[in-house]
Amino acid sequence: MVTLAFDVYGTLINTQGIQYTLAEMLHDEQQAAAISRRWREKQLEYSFRRGLMEQYQPFSVCTRQALSFALSEANVALSDDQCDQLLMAYRHLPAFPDAVSLLQQLSSMGVDAFGFTNGEAAIASELLANAGLIEDLKGIVSVDLLRTFKPAPRVYQHFLETADSSADNTWLISGNPFDILGARHAGWRTAWVNRTDAPFDPWGEAPDVTVPSLTDLAGKLGL
């Protein structure tokens, strides 16, 4: 039986769900959507930078600093309490609807499905529990113990050791192309969830499977 590693932020969990909390604060849905996107971009950028610099800070720190940047760039001033409210709301982001149905299906089939995340394990567990996904996952594997981030090669080896799996028997399912490329470099099989019909990075490599949603993934993987 294969082992499935599901990226959490952006694959199982809709990070853009935070824009609704922002919109309530700003009374401007368009601005809230733009800040939400920029927040996510800087969150990932900060994790990449820290990984390359070997100056680790937890993903929650990258998230807080990215929020500060996104608000400053947009010339939006929020109180400390409002920022804390946003960061707490980030632990209550919604699951993608297709994630709920797929994980339930995989659980009923006895497939080993894990959450695999740049976030700290405790925060990711809380997030997935709040989203109603935790019960259908065998476990959560976080990069926090290694003090670096995806797509560092040793992160993927850490998953294999934790899940007691092998590269040729493990699939990464992710909506993030950088994660797909990292897993392919580590010898894994990969499935890219391309919800926005975006082009893949032109690195001369492609995911083994590309799907527009998680709905038909089980069939695509031959499960």
Is residue 216 over pLDDT 90? Answer: no
Per residue in 39-63, pLDDT (tens digit) is 999 999 999 999 999 999 999 999 9
As a whole number, the mean pLDDT across the chain is 96
User: Residue 81's pLDDT band (boundaries 50, 70, 90)?
Assistant: very high
Is residue 1 over pLDDT 90? Answer: no
- The tokens describing 136, both together, are 């259908």
Q: What is the pLDDT of residue 93?
A: 96
Handedness of CA 134, 177, 65, 146 (dihedral sign): positive
DSSP helix/strand/coil, 22: helix
**What is the rounded (10 degree) CA torsion for 56, 60, 62, 66?**
-170
The answer to whether 98 and 157 have CB atoms below 8 angstroms apart is no
Which residue's structure tokens are 């909390």? Answer: 21
DSSP state of 155: H
Per residue in 102-159, pLDDT (tens digit) is 999 999 999 999 999 999 999 999 999 999 999 999 999 999 999 999 999 999 999 9
Equal CATH topology for 3-13+93-220 and 15-92: no
- The tokens describing 72, both together, are 């400053």
- The tokens describing 39, both together, are 């927040």
Given 3.90.220.20, 3.60.10.10, 3.30.2310.20, 1.10.150.240, which CATH number is that of 15-92? 1.10.150.240
Catalytic residues, which ones? 7
Q: What is the pLDDT of residue 198?
A: 96
Percent of the chain predicted with pLDDT > 90: 98
- Each domain of the chain, given as residue ranges in start order, spans 3-13+93-220, 15-92
Q: How far apart are CA 223 and CA 191, in angstroms?
A: 14
Q: What is the pLDDT of residue 171?
A: 98
Q: How far apart are CA 33 and CA 125, in angstroms?
A: 26
Fold (CATH) for 3-13+93-220: Rossmann fold (3.40.50)
Helix crossing, 59-73 with 80-89: angle to 10°? 130
